[in-house]
């Protein structure tokens, strides 16, 4: 078996510098690493990770390795790999990595198969591709697997669908469902990194633009908040009445896509659903409109039909494809409709991934501790771990919080006192 498949081992030095830089902003993960060095909770565990190969992920993998695990990794998206990080992981840390930025779908799955050849005890996913591949074509691995963890909303939805249909064959911890994950990573992380990706790809000024956000989940909220902060007029497209109402009362315009298509300058999808921006919308868009996706899969923008109504397409800048439509207008699609924040920028900053990956490390430890005791279900992160991560993060930020007095604690558990 080849021990790795990466772009270029000579990029390792640059990758190492960036991994060290990210580490400085990951104090909670650092504390867990120190604890893992002493307790070795992952001794004799082979852990296969299918995650975005970034400097932050590198710090997670090093923590898992410090905990005694044999770690092997592949990308969770064909465009999100930082090739220098992958090289550093192989060269300096002896972690087999199978990931190349820009790999085809075929190579993407070849890399997943390479990682599965190590016969993992634990799977760590961002989007559930390891779990689904195991269930489809590598069922022989299932008896050895203790459990898995899942990083993202889309992955948790897929895994819950598997559990509901009775086909999930091992327990999963939904890291995404930890409060210290989705309240922060999905909102502030996606908010900042999506804007970062759009700006790096296009160098546009956001001030004064009509900025359309499709989906007002935690990611959509973050994107809307940051686009507003940059001076854009934010428009929300949402199918859920409660979320739409929240968006309205948060001060944003709310309308269906058919109307937003006519006035938007920039469009970002963050819904987790398919064909959110379609042919009928492209045909209504202004000349030069910019379209990007921040949802996990590249299914939210209907590129197949955009091709069909286009005369030509060309690369306008790296990560920008300009489509010339039959109606004479142009539309710019960023990062092939894949995650714009990880394709055209570096994903979420380390400080927020600190909490997400503290949860991942603790989820792996928890799975080992609970070996044989969990059902074939999707579990939330244990609340006490979530709370501990929040406390450690606050401490690292030098924030002290108020404590309940004994009298207040008693009041909160009593029912006798009223008006």
Q: Is the Cβ of residue 55 or residue 233 nearer to ligand ADE in the bound state? A: 55
Helices then strands, counting H and E runs in the chain, come out as 18, 15
SS3 331: strand
Running DSSP on this structure, what letter comes out for residue 188? I
Q: How far apart are CA 99 and CA 5, in angstroms?
A: 6
Q: Interface mask (CB under 6 A) for ligand ADE, residues 55-74, using x and -?
A: -xx-----------------
Pick the stretch among 141-149, 268-276, 319-327, 341-349 that binds ligand ADE (CB under 6 A).
341-349
Strand 320-325 versus strand 310-317 pairing type? antiparallel
- Rule CB under 6 A: say whether 52 interacts with ligand ADE: yes
Q: Are 100 and 5 a contacting pair, CB within 8 Å? A: yes
Q: Are 129 and 50 a contacting pair, CB within 8 Å? A: yes
Q: Is the Cβ of residue 86 or residue 254 nearer to ligand ADE in the bound state? A: 86
- Tell which one of 331, 347, 358, 390 touches ligand ADE (CB under 6 A): 347
In angstroms, the Cα distances linking 179 to 30, 174, 176 are 20, 11, 8
Pick the stretch among 49-57, 207-215, 387-395, 404-412 that binds ligand ADE (CB under 6 A).
49-57
Q: Which of residues 380-409 bind ligand ADE (CB under 6 A)?
A: none
CB of 353 to ligand ADE, least distance (A): 5
Phi, psi of 417 (to 5 degrees): -75, 135
Per DSSP, helices labelled H in 100-189 are 105-116, 129-137, 153-164, 179-181
Q: Is the Cβ of residue 348 or residue 393 nearer to ligand ADE in the bound state? A: 348
Q: Which of residues 167-196 bind ligand ADE (CB under 6 A)?
A: 189, 193
Q: Is the Cβ of residue 57 or residue 210 nearer to ligand ADE in the bound state? A: 57
Q: How far apart are CA 65 and CA 164, in angstroms?
A: 33
Residue bearing tokens 């710019």: 332
Q: Are 98 and 114 a contacting pair, CB within 8 Å? A: yes
**Phi-psi sector, 212: left (phi>0), alpha (psi -120 to 50), beta:** beta
Q: Interface mask (CB under 6 A) for ligand ADE, residues 133-172, using x and -?
A: ----------------------------------------
- Rule CB under 6 A: say whether 343 interacts with ligand ADE: no
Q: Across the beta sheet with 97-98, what order do the strands follow?
A: 97-98, 70-74, 46-50, 122-125, 147-150, 172-174, 378-380
- Tell which one of 47, 254, 299, 353 touches ligand ADE (CB under 6 A): 353
- Rule CB under 6 A: say whether 28 interacts with ligand ADE: no
- Tell which one of 348, 351, 362, 386 touches ligand ADE (CB under 6 A): 348
CB of 267 to ligand ADE, least distance (A): 20
- Rule CB under 6 A: say whether 54 interacts with ligand ADE: yes
CA-based angle 348:351:356, to the nearest 5? Answer: 70
CB of 257 to ligand ADE, least distance (A): 25
Q: How far apart are CA 409 and CA 404, in angstroms?
A: 6
Pick the stretch among 10-18, 51-59, 110-118, 369-377 that binds ligand ADE (CB under 6 A).
51-59
Residues in the chain: 419
Q: Is the Cβ of residue 52 or residue 158 nearer to ligand ADE in the bound state? A: 52
Q: Is the Cβ of residue 57 or residue 133 nearer to ligand ADE in the bound state? A: 57
Q: Is the Cβ of residue 152 or residue 332 nearer to ligand ADE in the bound state? A: 152
Q: Is the Cβ of residue 285 or residue 292 nearer to ligand ADE in the bound state? A: 292
CB of 27 to ligand ADE, least distance (A): 16
Q: How far apart are CA 269 and CA 338, in angstroms?
A: 10
Positions that interact with ligand ADE (CB under 6 A): 51-52, 54, 56-57, 189, 193, 342, 347-348, 353
């Amino acid at each position: 078996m080849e021990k790795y498949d990466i772009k270029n081992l000579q990029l390792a030095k640059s990758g190492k510098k960036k991994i060290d830089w990210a580490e400085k902003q990951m104090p909670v993960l650092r504390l867990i690493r120190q604890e893992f060095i002493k307790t070795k909770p992952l001794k004799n565990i082979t852990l296969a990770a299918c995650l975005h190969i970034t400097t932050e992920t590198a710090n997670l993998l090093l923590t898992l390795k410090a905990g005694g695990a044999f770690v092997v990794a592949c990308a969770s998206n064909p465009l999100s790999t930082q090739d220098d990080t992958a090289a550093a992981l192989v060269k300096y840390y002896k972690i087999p990595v199978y990931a190349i930025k820009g790999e085809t779908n075929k190579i993407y799955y070849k890399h997943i198969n390479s990682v599965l050849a190590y016969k993992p005890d634990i799977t760590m996913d961002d989007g559930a591709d390891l779990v689904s591949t195991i269930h489809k074509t590598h069922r022989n691995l299932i008896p050895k697997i203790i459990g898995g963890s899942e990083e993202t909303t889309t992955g948790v939805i897929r895994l819950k669908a598997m559990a509901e249909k009775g086909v999930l064959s091992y327990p999963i911890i939904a890291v995404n469902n930890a409060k210290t994950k989705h309240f922060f990573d999905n909102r502030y992380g996606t908010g900042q990194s999506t804007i970062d990706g759009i700006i790096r790809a296009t160098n546009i000024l956001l001030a004064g633009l009509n900025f359309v956000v499709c989906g007002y989940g935690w990611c959509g909220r973050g994107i809307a908040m940051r686009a507003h902060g940059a001076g854009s007029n934010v428009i929300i497209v949402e199918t859920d009445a409660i979320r739409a109402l929240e968006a309205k009362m948060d001060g944003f315009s709310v309308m269906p896509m058919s109307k937003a298509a006519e006035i938007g300058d920039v469009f970002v999808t963050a819904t987790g659903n398919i064909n959110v921006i379609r042919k009928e919308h492209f045909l209504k868009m202004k000349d030069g409109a910019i379209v990007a996706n921040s949802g996990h899969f590249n299914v939210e923008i209907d590129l197949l039909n955009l091709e069909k109504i286009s005369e030509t397409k060309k690369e306008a800048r790296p990560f920008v494809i300009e489509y010339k439509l039959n109606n004479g207008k142009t539309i710019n699609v960023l990062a092939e409709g894949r995650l714009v924040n990880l394709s055209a920028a570096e994903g979420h900053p380390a400080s927020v991934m600190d909490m997400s990956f503290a949860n991942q490390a603790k989820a792996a430890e928890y799975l080992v501790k609970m070996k044989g005791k969990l059902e074939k279900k999707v579990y939330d992160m244990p609340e006490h771990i979530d709370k501990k991560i929040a406390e450690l993060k606050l401490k690292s930020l030098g924030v002290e919080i108020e404590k309940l007095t004994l009298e207040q604690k008693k009041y909160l558990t009593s029912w006798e006192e009223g008006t």
